């Protein structure tokens, strides 16, 4: 029954195949020969099947686990170098007709402050985000056809792209809204979005239906098949994710990787990103009400195994996690992080009232973007505000082809250095500017092509002199 090329959710996310995979992995968790074979395959950087990935996830041999973590770091460096791309979420509206049991936006919550930003309020939020230094946003909204119709989302995207405040600009808007129709995905594509992100929440159908007892999101097939509709609508960068804590992490990882295999089989291109959110405390939500919470060690292992399984896919970690946890897992394959985030509707321009809150969940990393940039540099990473790929038409299979043959480095490092320079000139505090300037100088030596290095050096001078937005 398992068929990655099928367009039916229950065939490409096949429960029986997942159960037999979990059984197989459990039986082989001490099978050193098989684990060695899978690690060798992972070293070729061509990815792993969900079955192979689950064997590594279950692997119970400490030395082999160390190899897995080490390899995840190596692969991350091969495909993404030492760059970490930064973004922020922007919540447009928390009106929602769904009944998701883990989310405080659920329709029955009469306690949370309901808010929908006007275009003028969006303008204020975007100016505040630009003043922090952000160039890339992920817009978020509850599902409510009356309050948040597609026209509202499209108008908001137009507003966001139109704002040019001082040297600021939002150059990439990713979108995290509920599953919708091919026609609406086409409209989002025409509005110039970057990645369409939709978390599956859980791949376990029975649990999914219980966790989403009411509203359009109750429909498992419609939700699970959304990425196919998005791709049919012309969106070729899609972002997957599960909400860890709802179901067992082993089931979720198998489902997630089967979803990636499905996209590859049907559309010839896997997910652009994978997010790894964990359930957090929120207004009327207590995460301990869900039985499947995972600790930081398991979380790190999941991230490392994803990195080995889909080496070319970006991986995102949000401010749901503490600075300590982010520091622990970032090395195992994370390529994008949020910084200075608010999960309230509004709140960047004017802080929310303590008594009346609209937040989706508690944030655990409260550092400013400047502090996050500084922390990344101290850890040896290059913070990047690059948005060049989709603006240069490097999306979908074109991006993946460049990424798979590692040619993407020729663009990414130069773009990272030039956007970091913009950040240092326009937004960084003096101390951080100093650290950043010397980082740029040392990283210039890692640009392999002399001609590219010379162009970057020229552009860095031009940025000093006030010009902006150079890219390869």
Residues near ligand SAM (CB under 6 A) are: 102-103, 140, 142-143, 176-178, 198-199, 201, 217, 243, 277, 279-280, 282, 285, 320, 360-361
CB of 219 to ligand SAM, least distance (A): 12
75 versus 198: smaller Cβ distance to ligand SAM:
198
CA–CA gap between residue 182 and residue 226 (Å, rounded): 9
Is the distance from CB of 463 to CB of 418 less than 8 angstroms?
Answer: yes
Q: Which is nearer to ligand SAM, 52 or 143 (CB)?
A: 143
Rounded-to-integer distance, Cα 446 and Cα 98, Å: 49
Query: Least distance from C-beta 178 to ligand SAM, angstroms?
Result: 4
Report in angstroms how near the CB of residue 100 gets to ligand SAM at its nearest. Answer: 7
Residue 382's SS3 state is strand
Residue carrying structure tokens 């080490």 = 70
Residue 234 to residue 9: CA distance in whole angstroms: 20
Tell me the closest approach of the beta carbon of residue 70 to ligand SAM, in angstroms: 30
Write down the least CB distance from residue 399 to ligand SAM, Å. Answer: 23
Decide whether 103 or 428 has the Cβ nearer to ligand SAM.
103
Which CB, 226 or 408, lies closer to ligand SAM?
Answer: 226
Task: Give CA–CA dist 296/302, Å, rounded.
Answer: 10
State the nearest-atom distance from the C-beta of 277 to ligand SAM, in Å.
5
Nearest to 232 by CA among 285, 273, 179, 292: 179
Q: What is the phi-psi region of residue 361: left when phi exceeds 0, alpha when psi lies from -120 to 50, beta otherwise? A: beta
At closest approach, how far in Å is the CB of 142 from ligand SAM? 5
Q: Which is nearer to ligand SAM, 75 or 141 (CB)?
A: 141
Q: Output the smallest distance, CB 89 to ligand SAM, in A.
A: 8
Query: Whose Cβ is closer to ligand SAM: residue 316's or residue 439's?
Result: 316
Provide the pairing of β-strand 83-93 with 336-338.
Answer: parallel
Q: Which helix (H) or strand (E) segment is 469 a member of?
A: none
Distance (Å) of CA 468 to CA 425, 460, 463, 464: 10, 10, 6, 9
DSSP-derived pairing of the beta strands 136-141 and 382-384 = unpaired
What are the phi and psi torsion angles at 196 (to 5°)? -95, 120
The nearest distance, CB 61 to ligand SAM, in angstroms, is 33
What torsion do the CA atoms of 250, 254, 259, 265 make, to the nearest 10 degrees?
Answer: 170
Q: How far is the CB of 69 from ligand SAM (least distance, A)?
A: 25
Q: Which is nearer to ligand SAM, 34 or 150 (CB)?
A: 150
Nearest CB to ligand SAM, comparing residues 251 and 312: 251
CA–CA separation, 232 vs 377, rounded Å? 40
**Based on CB atoms, which residue is closest to ligand SAM, 81 or 241?**
241
- Give the nearest distance from C-beta 135 to ligand SAM in angstroms: 21
Structure tokens at 416: 């990272």
Closer residue to ligand SAM in complex, CB, 51/223 = 223
Q: Considering beta carbons, is residue 195 or 374 the nearer one to ligand SAM?
A: 195
Among 302, 304, 237, 269, smallest CA distance to 66 is for: 304
Tokens of 9: 């959710």
Among the listed residues 317, 320, 368, the one whose alpha carbon sits nearest the alpha carbon of residue 132? 368
Q: How far apart are CA 61 and CA 66, in angstroms?
A: 9
Structure tokens at 468: 């902006």
């Amino acid at each position: 029954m398992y068929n990655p090329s099928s367009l039916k959710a229950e065939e490409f996310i096949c429960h029986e195949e997942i159960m037999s995979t979990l059984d197989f992995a459990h039986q082989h968790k001490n099978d050193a020969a098989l684990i060695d074979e899978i690690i060798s395959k992972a070293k070729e950087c061509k990815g792993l099947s969900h079955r192979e990935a689950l064997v590594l996830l279950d692997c119970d041999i400490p030395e082999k686990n160390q190899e897995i973590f080490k390899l995840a770091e190596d692969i991350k460096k091969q495909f993404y170098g030492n760059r970490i791309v930064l973004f922020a979420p922007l919540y447009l509206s928390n009106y929602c007709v769904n009944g998701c049991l883990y989310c405080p936006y659920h329709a029955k919550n009469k306690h949370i402050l309901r808010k929908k930003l006007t275009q003028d309020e969006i303008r204020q939020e975007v100016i505040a985000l630009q003043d922090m230094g952000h160039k890339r946003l992920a817009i978020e909204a509850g599902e409510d056809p009356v309050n948040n119709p597609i026209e509202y989302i499209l108008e908001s995207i137009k507003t966001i792209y139109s704002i040019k405040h001082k040297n600021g600009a939002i150059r990439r808007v990713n979108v995290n809204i509920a599953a919708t129709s091919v026609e609406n995905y086409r409209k989002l594509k025409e509005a110039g979005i970057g990645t369409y992100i939709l978390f599956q929440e859980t791949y376990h159908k029975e649990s999914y239906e219980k966790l989403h007892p009411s509203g359009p999101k109750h429909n498992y097939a419609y939700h699970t098949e959304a990425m196919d509709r998005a791709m049919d609508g012309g969106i070729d960068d899609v972002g997957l994710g599960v909400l860890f804590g709802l179901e067992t992490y082993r089931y979720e990882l198998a489902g997630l990787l089967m979803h990636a295999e499905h996209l590859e089989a049907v559309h010839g291109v896997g997910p652009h990103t994978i997010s790894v959110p964990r359930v957090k405390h929120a207004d009327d939500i207590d995460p301990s009400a869900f039985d499947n919470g995972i600790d930081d060690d398991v979380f790190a292992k999941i991230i490392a195994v994803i990195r080995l399984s889909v080496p070319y896919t970006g991986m995102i970690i949000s401010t749901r996690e503490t600075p300590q946890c982010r520091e622990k897992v970032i090395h195992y394959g994370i390529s994008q992080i949020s910084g200075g985030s608010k999960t309230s509707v509004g709140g960047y321009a004017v802080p929310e009232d303590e008594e009346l809150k609209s937040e989706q969940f508690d944030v655990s990393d409260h550092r400013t973007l400047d502090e996050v940039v500084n922390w990344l540099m101290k850890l040896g990473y290059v913070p990047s505000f690059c948005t060049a790929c989709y603006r240069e038409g490097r999306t979908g299979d074109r991006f993946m082809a460049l990424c798979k043959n590692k040619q993407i480095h020729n663009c990414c490092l130069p773009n990272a250095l030039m956007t970091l320079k913009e950040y240092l000139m326009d937004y960084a505090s003096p101390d951080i500017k100093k650290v950043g300037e010397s980082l740029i100088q040392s990283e210039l030596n890692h640009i392999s092509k002399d001609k590219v290095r010379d162009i970057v050096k020229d552009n860095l001078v031009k940025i000093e002199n006030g010009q902006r937005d150079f890219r390869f």
